Structure 1
Amino acid sequence: MDGPVTPENHHQHRDVTGGWLRPAVFGAMDGLVSNFALIAGIAGGAGGQKVVLLAGLAGLAAGAFSMAAGEYISVASQSELAEAEIEVERLELARHPISEQRELAQVFESRGVDPETAAEVARQLSRDPDEALEVHAKEEIGVAPGELPSPLLAAGSSFLSFAVGALLPVLPYLLGATSLLPAAVIAALGLFAAGALVSRVTTRAWWFGGLRQLAFGAAAAAITYGVGALIGTNGV
Structure 2
Amino acid sequence: MTGGRPGVRPEHHHQHRDVTGGWLRPAVFGAMDGLVSNFALIAGVAGGQASQKVVLLAGLAGLAAGAFSMAAGEYISVASQAELAEAEIEVERLELARHPVAEEQELAEVFEARGVDPETAAEVARQLSRDPDEALEVHAKEELGVTPGDLPSPLLAAGSSFLSFAVGALLPVLPYLLGATSLWPAAGIAALGLFCAGALVSRITARAWWFGGSRQLLLGAAAAATTYGFGALIGTNGL
Within the candidate set 45, 53, 58, 1:55 is matched to 58
2:202–2:209: 8 Å Cα contact kept in structure 1? Answer: yes
1:47 is paired with a residue whose SS is coil
> Counterpart of 2:217?
214
> Counterpart of 1:146?
149
The letter of the residue matching 1:200 is: R
Which 5+ residue runs of structure 1 have no aligned equivalent? none
1:146 is paired with a residue whose SS is coil
CA offsets, 1:34-93, max 9 Å, x none? 000000000000010110000000000111111011111111110111000000000000
Q: Does the C-alpha gap of structure 1 residues 94 and 13 become closer, same or farther in structure 2, counting only changes over 3 Å?
A: closer
Whole-angstrom CA distance in 1 between matches of 2:51 and 2:91: 60
> Counterpart of 1:133?
136
CA apart distance, 1:150: 0.8
> Counterpart of 1:197?
200
The letter of the residue matching 1:26 is: F
Name the % identity.
87
Q: Find out whether 1:163 has 2:166 as its counterpart.
A: yes
1:45–1:233: 8 Å Cα contact kept in structure 2? Answer: yes
1:29–1:162: 8 Å Cα contact kept in structure 2? Answer: yes
> Counterpart of 2:83?
80
CA apart distance, 1:198: 1.5
1:25–1:197: 8 Å Cα contact kept in structure 2? Answer: no
Tell me the TM-score normalised to structure 1 length: 0.94
Whole-angstrom CA distance in 1 between matches of 2:63 and 2:39: 10
Whole-angstrom CA distance in 2 between matches of 1:14 and 1:134: 22
2:23–2:160: 8 Å Cα contact kept in structure 1? Answer: no
RMSD: 2.1
> Counterpart of 1:101?
104
2:31–2:165: 8 Å Cα contact kept in structure 1? Answer: yes
Whole-angstrom CA distance in 2 between matches of 1:15 and 1:147: 12
The letter of the residue matching 2:122 is: A
Q: Which moved more, 1:2-11 or 1:45-54?
A: 2-11
Within the candidate set 40, 64, 69, 2:67 is matched to 64
Q: Does the C-alpha gap of structure 1 residues 27 and 70 become closer, same or farther in structure 2, counting only changes over 3 Å?
A: same
Whole-angstrom CA distance in 1 between matches of 2:13 and 2:133: 34
CA apart distance, 1:2: 4.2
CA apart distance, 1:3: 8.6
1:18–1:201: 8 Å Cα contact kept in structure 2? Answer: no
How many residues align? The count is 236
1:22–1:198: 8 Å Cα contact kept in structure 2? Answer: no
Q: Does the C-alpha gap of structure 1 residues 229 and 202 become closer, same or farther in structure 2, counting only changes over 3 Å?
A: same
CA apart distance, 1:9: 2.2
Q: Which moved more, 1:193-202 or 1:85-94?
A: 193-202
CA apart distance, 1:205: 1.2
CA apart distance, 1:197: 1.1
Whole-angstrom CA distance in 1 between matches of 2:134 and 2:207: 40
Within the candidate set 178, 186, 191, 2:189 is matched to 186
> Counterpart of 2:231?
228
Q: Does the C-alpha gap of structure 1 residues 219 and 18 become closer, same or farther in structure 2, counting only changes over 3 Å?
A: farther
1:31–1:60: 8 Å Cα contact kept in structure 2? Answer: yes
CA apart distance, 1:202: 2.8
1:68–1:159: 8 Å Cα contact kept in structure 2? Answer: yes
